[in-house]
Amino acid sequence: MKTIVKVLCLLLLMCFTYACSKDDDKTEPVAVEEPVTDVFAVGYESDGTKDIAKMWKNGVATSLTDGENRTTANSLFVSGNDVYVVGSGTNGVEDIGMVWKNGVPIKLTQRLRSYANSVFVSESNVFVIGNIYNGATSTAVVWKNEESMNLFDGIEGIDLYSIFVVQNDIYVAGAQYNGHVNVAKIWKNGVPTNLTDGTTHAVVNSIFIQGTDVYAVGYENNENDISIAKIWKNGKGTSLTKGIDYATANSVYAVGSDVYVAGTDYSNGKSMATIWKNNSPLKLTNGVYPSYATSIFVQGTDVYVSGYVYTGPSYVAKTWKNGEVTNLTDGTYKAYANAVFVTSQ
C-alpha cells in the first residue's frame, strides 16, 4: 500500500512540475515601439499678394508669419525639440534676414537689408549664413547665436549658400565674383579653397562633411555657357551631366559609401527633379510638368527630397520619399519647398 501511495505521489509531483515548467515557458510578447519619424519641410506660399513663409511637419502646414509682410523660408535644422528655420522677412522697408526658433521670429539685422540662406546647429550653437547689403555693397556674414563672426569683413562679392559645422571648424560654401565670373569656393574658418579656376561661372549650393571627406555640389558653366551639375569631393570635381542641357546640383548628403545629390536636370528643354546616387541619375518626375529638387536628406534606407512642380496654373510644393510624392499644397497658390529635414526617435 505504501508503495502505491509513493508511486501516486511521485506521478502527481511529476505532473505538477511539468505543468509549472510549461507555464514558466509562457512569456508575454513584448511590444516593440516603432521609431517615430517626422518629416519637416520649409518654403513659402503666395496668397496672391504676398509670399508667406511656411513650415510643413508631416504634410501639415504652419505659417511663420501673419501675412502682413513678405516672408520666405530657405533652410531648417532640427535639434532635439527645437526647430530652427531661416529666411527673410521685412521691417516694412527692407528685406531682413530672419531666424524662427519654434515659430518665434528673430531679426538678424534691424535696418540694413539682409538675407539668411542656411542654418546649422552644433552643440547648442546656432550658425546662420547669408549676406548684408549696405547700399549696393554686399558682405557675406556668418552669425553665431545671432552675433556676426566677422569672418568676411571688408570682403565684397561673396555669396554664401551652405554651412556645415564639425566641432570647432566652420565650413561655408558659395561663390566669389572675381570681376568676370563667379568662382566656386569653400571656406574653412574663413580660409578659402577654390574649386574652379575662374575662367567659367560656377557656384557651390551645398556642402556635407563626412569624416575627413568634404563634399560640395553646385554647377559650372561650360564653354557654351551651359551649366553642368557638379560634385566635388575634397576639391576634385566630377560632372553629373554632359552639358547638352542646363542642370544644377542643389543639395548633397553622404551615408557610408553612398553619396546622394538632389538637383534639376533639363532634358529637351524640360526641367526634371533628379537624384544622383553615386553619380547615377534617377528622375523623380516623368517630365510632363517642369519639376525642381531643392534639398535631400537620408534617414536609414529612406531618401527624402523637397522641391516643387509646375502643374499648369501654379507651382505645387512637394516632398518625395523613395520616389513617392506627397503634395504639400493644393495648387491654389504658387508654393515652393526649399528644404527638408527628417528626425526619428
How much is the average pLDDT of 286-299?
A: 95
Mean pLDDT of 247-254: 98
Quick: pLDDT tens for 96-115: 999 999 999 999 998 889 99
Query: pLDDT (tens digit, 9 = 90+) per residue, 215-224?
Result: 999 999 999 9
The pLDDT score that the predictor gives to residue 107 is: 93
Residue 220 to residue 89: CA distance in whole angstroms: 31
- Percent pLDDT > 70 in the chain is 90
What is the DSSP code string of 153-222?
A: TT-BSEEEEEEEEETTEEEEEEEEE-SSSEEEEEEETTEEEESS-SSS-EEEEEEEEETTEEEEEEEEE-
Domain ranges for the chain: 34-152+321-345, 157-283
Mean pLDDT, the chain, whole residue set: 90
**Exposure of 188 by Cβ count < 10 A (0-12 exposed, 13-18 middle, 19+ buried)?**
middle
| Residue of 256, 251, 260 lying closest to 340 (CA atoms) | 251
Between 32 and 334, where is the model more confident?
334
Cα gap 51→53, rounded to integer Å: 7
pLDDT at residue 30, as a whole number: 59
pLDDT at 32: 59
For residue 13, pLDDT over 50 is answered with no
pLDDT in tens, 142-191: 999 999 998 988 788 999 999 999 999 999 999 999 999 999 999 999 99
The owner of cell 501673419 is 66
- 17, pLDDT greater than 50: no
Model confidence at 329: pLDDT above 70: yes
Distance CA 84, CA 102 (A): 6
Q: Is the dihedral of CA 285, 286, 289, 291 positive or negative?
A: positive
- 37-88 residue pLDDT tens: 999 999 999 987 889 999 999 999 999 987 778 899 999 999 999 999 999 9
Cα(94)–Cα(217) distance, rounded to whole angstroms?
A: 31
Query: Does the pLDDT of residue 91 top 80, yes or no?
Result: no
pLDDT at 31: 57
- Closest C-alpha among 113, 217, 209, 224 to residue 170: 209
The pTM of this model reads: 0.89
Q: What is the DSSP string of 50-100?
A: SEEEEEEETTEEEESS-SSS--EEEEEEEETTEEEEEEEEESSSSEEEEEE
Q: Is the pLDDT of residue 126 over 60?
A: yes
pLDDT value at 89 more than 60: yes
- Distance in angstroms (rounded) separating the CA atoms of residues 192 and 89: 30
Task: Give the contacts of 31 (CB within 8 A, at least 6 positions apart).
Answer: none
Cell 574652379 locates to 196
Half-sphere exposure of 65 (CA within 13 A, CB side): 29
pLDDT category at 27 given cuts 50, 70, 90 is: low
Q: Which three cell numbers stand for residue 210?
A: 563626412
Q: Around Cβ 311, how many Cβ atoms within 10 Å? A: 15
